[in-house]
Each structure stands twice: as structure tokens, then as C-alpha cells.
């Protein structure tokens, strides 16, 4: 039935043959309207078009015309070249934002996605989890519940850093976000202290069961757990990654968007990466992922008057003083000296390490002086020739 040069779909062919059957008197107008799923008035118009134009009468009026908003082939090739050389590891939404911001090119996301598929650089969507889980409602007040975790990832080629984040459950605001070389007690305490100094003390903090947070392996002797107990912060341990989904999803976003941004700016130094993260990336891009809290009230608690944060946020150890007025730590000996020249032999002293690793020694509220004992002096103290 198709004439040369015309591509006819199955629906168009059925439509044309039905109208021919009507014109030949084989079916009534009512039956034709039912077959075409149109009113009798619309059917009359279609019959008139077929009488005038033949098979072309069943085609849509815009068929074969170039859309007014069609992007030129030159522009398509230009964008594909830019994507191939510069934005090859961006997701399509992120890529659309950067093209609009950097090059003033406003291209629809699905159009951009199809162009990326043609050159083989489109990122696949993440598969949805199969196990059904109920959604937990956000808490209504800022500062009531914070989620904290670290993301181990190769943020720049050849270097695995840890991104430690503290996110507010009520709003998804990032109160702390920094790269560290490891998810250590010092790094996590540094983040918690930064939040407390800036905003106040939260009610609860949601973490996983890692030992440094006081999980099963280090229950009741974790420094992080001790600090939270002294500040009155209740720790909630998640039973699955989905339990602290807000911070986990933030890491997916960072891995998807931040790594390409660091590559684009040729940032390989951790200090510069932290500077870019907190002064550029988060202020410009994270706002779209936050929400307004259900309540205008906040639940941050003020710091108690007279609280010594330096003491609270320290790694604390205890050692017994030897008869030679020395203590041992990590195969090293240190001589301790009381300002009042009091003998400390047999007493227990407290060693406090700040978050930068500097050591101070205390006894009964008094800070002691100390110096390191060389091996030769240690041997003499033990009576070894």
C-alpha cells in the first residue's frame, strides 16, 4: 500500500485501509469512527484528507518537517566532543549543570543522555535495592539527631582518602565534611568538636558499629564513646547501612560529583581538596539536596559553663610511675617531674594527647613537666651495666 519514498507504520496502514473500506461502502461511518477511535466529526475530516492527498492524508501534519527547536548537528558534535574530552566521568544531571554554567549551553537532560549513549560515556543508573525497607521519617528539629560516617574511596587516581561527614537528619545539611588519611579516632573527634564549637551539643548521634565508635569490639573503652558520654550525647548504632541512609546517600553523591570536579581542577593535594570542598563545592552544589526542617525550633544544647573542651577532646591514658620517677609508653620512657618536687613513685598519672598528637601529663589536677629518657639512662635506672 505504501508509495515509493513513504514509510508507513502499521497503525497508519490500518487507518488508510479502513477509510478505503468506508469509501467502497463496506462499512458505515459509525463503524469507521469506532475503528479509528475518533468522533464522527474527526472521522469526516480524516476522510476528506485521504480523498485530497491519498495515503499522505493519514500522516500527521508535522511528519517530515524539521522541528523549530531541533539542535543542529554541528552543536551536537561540539557537545559530544566536549563531553568526550572533559566531562566523560560526570553524570548527566551534573554534566547539564556544568554545560549551562561554564558554556551557557542549555540542553535537556534526556537529550544529553542520548548523545552520551551514542559515544559510550553515559553513566548507568544505580540498581534499586531489592530488599524492601520502611522509610524512617526525618526528625523535625535541627540538632536533634546527627549521622556520622566515613567514605573510603579513591577520590583522586592512585590515592584512597576517607571523607568524614556529619549530616543533620532533619535537613541533610552538612555540618562537617573533610578528607582525612584514615577513619581514625582523632579524625572523628576533630569533626565532632568542630560541630560542637560552631553550633552546640546534639542530642543523638547515629553511627555504624565500627570499633572506634564503641561498637562490639571496643565496647566501653572507646575514646569516642567516652567523649559522647561526657557531653551527654546518646550514641545510636545502626544495624545496617540503610539505617543511616542520609549520610550514605550523601557519599554516593560525592563520589559521583566530587571526584570529576577534583580531576577537572587538577587537585591532588588533600589540603587544596578540603579547601575546594568547603568553600566551593558544598556552598554551590549541596543546597539542592537539603530540605527545610519540619520545625523552626532547634535542639542544639549550649556548652556547659566551665567545660574544658581540650580535656574532653583528648586521648586519655593512665600510667603508673616507676621508682625512678619514670613512666613507660610505647617502648619509650619518660621522666615526670612535679612542680612541687613531690615524689610520684607508685602513683598513677594521666596522659592526655590532643587531636594533633601533643602529649601533656597530669596528676591530681596539676600538670607535670616531663622529658624523654634515653636508652643509656634507662639501663642505669634498671641497674644494667
Q: What pLDDT is stored for residue 375 in this prediction?
A: 64
User: Which domain-ending residue is among 289, 305, 340?
Assistant: 289
Distance of CA 65 to CAs 5, 6, 59, 60, 107, Å?
A: 15, 14, 12, 10, 21
Show Cβ contacts of residue 237 under 8 Å, excluding neighbours closer than 6 positions.
207, 208, 209, 213, 215
Check whether residue 199 and residue 271 sit in a common domain: yes
Whether residue 136 is contained in a domain is answered as: no
- Looking at the structure, tell me whether residues 151 and 271 fall in a common domain: yes
187 and 212 fall within a common domain:
yes
Sheet with 315-320, strands from edge to edge, namely 315-320, 348-353, 359-363, 366-373, 332-337, 326-329
The answer to whether residue 64 is domain-embedded is no
Same-domain pairing of 115 and 227 = no
Instruction: Give Cβ neighbours of residue 283 (< 8 Å, ≥ 6 apart).
Output: none
Indicate whether 5 belongs to any domain: no
Structural domain contains residue 212 = yes
pLDDT of 342: 86
Residue 301 lies in a domain: no
Task: Take residue 118 and report the three cell numbers written for it.
Answer: 551514542
Statement to judge: residues 168 and 249 lie in one domain: yes
CATH number at residue 252: 3.30.420.10
Enter the pTM of the model.
0.68
Distance (Å, rounded) from C-alpha 248 to C-alpha 288? 17
pLDDT for the residue 178: 95
Is-contact 295 140, C-beta < 8 A? yes
Q: What pLDDT, on a 0 to 100 scale, did the predictor assign at position 384?
A: 46
The answer to whether 56 touches 6, Cβ cutoff 8 Å, is yes
149 in the same domain as 96: no
Q: What is the pLDDT of residue 2?
A: 47
Which residues span the domain enclosing 89?
Answer: 73-119
Per-residue pLDDT of the chain in tens (385 residues, 90 and over written 9):
444 455 667 777 888 888 888 888 888 888 888 888 889 888 888 888 888 888 777 777 666 666 777 777 888 888 888 888 888 888 888 888 888 888 888 888 888 888 888 888 877 666 655 655 556 778 889 999 999 999 999 999 888 999 999 999 999 999 999 999 999 999 999 999 999 999 999 999 999 888 888 876 666 678 999 999 999 999 988 877 666 778 888 999 899 899 999 999 999 999 999 999 999 999 998 988 899 998 888 999 999 988 999 999 999 999 999 988 899 988 889 999 898 888 888 999 999 999 888 999 999 889 899 998 876 455 555 544 4
Whether the CB-CB separation of 361 and 371 falls below 8 Å is answered with no
Q: Are 36 and 114 part of one and the same domain?
A: no
Between CA 160 and CA 167, with CA 165 as vertex, the angle to 5 degrees is 155
Q: Are residues 83 and 46 in the same domain?
A: no
On whether residue 296 sits in a domain, the answer given is no
Q: Can you read off the three cell numbers belonging to residue 209?
A: 558499629
- 266 and 168 share a domain? yes
Residues 275 and 190 in one domain: yes
318 and 359 together in one domain: yes
Q: Is 3 a member of any domain?
A: no
172 and 280 part of one domain: yes
How many structural domains is the chain composed of?
A: 4
User: Which residue among 119, 137, 154 closes a domain?
Assistant: 119
**Cα-based distances in Å from 66 to 72, 79, 111:** 11, 20, 16
Domain membership flag for residue 139: no
Q: For the chain, what is the radius of gyration of the CA atoms?
A: 35
Amino acid at each position: 500500500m505504501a508509495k515509493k519514498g513513504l514509510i508507513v507504520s502499521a497503525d497508519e496502514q490500518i487507518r488508510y485501509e479502513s477509510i478505503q473500506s468506508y469509501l467502497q461502502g463496506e462499512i458505515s461511518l459509525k463503524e469507521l469512527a469506532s475503528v479509528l477511535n475518533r468522533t464522527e466529526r474527526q472521522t469526516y475530516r480524516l476522510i476528506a484528507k485521504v480523498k485530497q492527498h491519498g495515503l499522505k492524508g493519514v500522516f500527521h501534519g508535522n511528519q517530515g518537517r524539521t522541528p523549530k527547536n531541533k539542535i543542529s548537528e554541528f552543536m551536537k558534535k561540539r557537545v559530544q566532543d566536549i563531553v568526550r574530552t572533559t566531562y566523560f566521568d560526570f553524570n548527566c544531571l551534573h554534566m547539564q549543570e556544568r554545560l549551562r554554567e561554564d558554556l551557557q549551553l542549555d540542553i535537556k537532560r534526556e537529550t544529553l543522555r542520548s548523545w552520551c549513549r551514542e559515544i559510550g560515556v553515559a553513566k548507568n543508573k544505580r540498581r534499586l535495592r531489592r530488599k524492601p525497607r520502611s522509610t524512617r521519617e526525618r526528625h523535625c528539629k535541627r540538632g536533634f539527631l546527627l549521622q556520622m560516617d566515613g567514605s573510603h574511596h579513591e577520590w583522586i587516581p592512585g590515592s584512597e582518602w576517607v571523607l568524614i561527614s556529619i549530616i543533620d537528619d532533619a535537613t541533610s545539611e552538612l555540618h562537617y565534611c573533610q578528607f582525612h588519611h584514615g577513619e581514625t579516632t582523632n579524625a572523628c573527634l576533630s569533626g565532632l568538636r568542630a560541630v560542637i564549637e560552631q553550633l552546640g551539643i546534639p542530642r543523638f548521634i547515629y553511627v555504624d558499629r565500627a570499633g572506634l565508635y564503641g561498637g562490639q569490639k571496643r565496647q566501653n573503652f572507646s575514646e569516642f564513646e567516652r567523649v559522647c558520654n561526657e557531653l551527654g550525647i546518646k550514641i545510636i548504632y545502626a544495624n545496617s547501612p540503610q539505617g543511616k541512609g542520609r549520610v550514605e546517600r550523601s557519599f554516593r553523591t560525592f563520589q559521583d560529583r566530587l571526584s570529576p570536579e577534583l580531576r577537572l581542577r587538577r587537585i591532588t593535594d588533600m589540603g587544596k581538596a578540603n579547601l575546594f570542598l568547603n568553600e566551593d563545592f558544598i556552598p554551590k552544589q549541596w543546597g539542592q539536596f537539603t530540605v527545610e526542617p519540619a520545625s523552626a525550633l532547634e535542639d542544639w544544647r549550649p556548652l556547659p559553663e566551665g567545660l574544658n573542651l581540650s580535656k574532653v577532646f583528648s586521648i586519655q591514658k593512665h600510667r603508673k610511675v616507676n621508682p625512678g620517677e619514670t613512666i613507660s609508653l610505647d617502648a619509650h620512657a619518660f621522666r615526670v617531674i612535679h612542680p612541687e618536687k613531690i615524689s610520684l613513685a607508685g602513683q598513677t598519672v594521666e596522659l592526655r594527647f590532643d587531636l594533633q598528637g601533643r602529649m601533656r601529663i597530669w596528676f591530681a589536677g596539676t600538670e607535670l613537666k616531663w622529658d624523654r629518657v634515653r636508652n643509656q639512662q634507662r639501663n642505669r635506672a634498671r641497674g644494667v651495666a
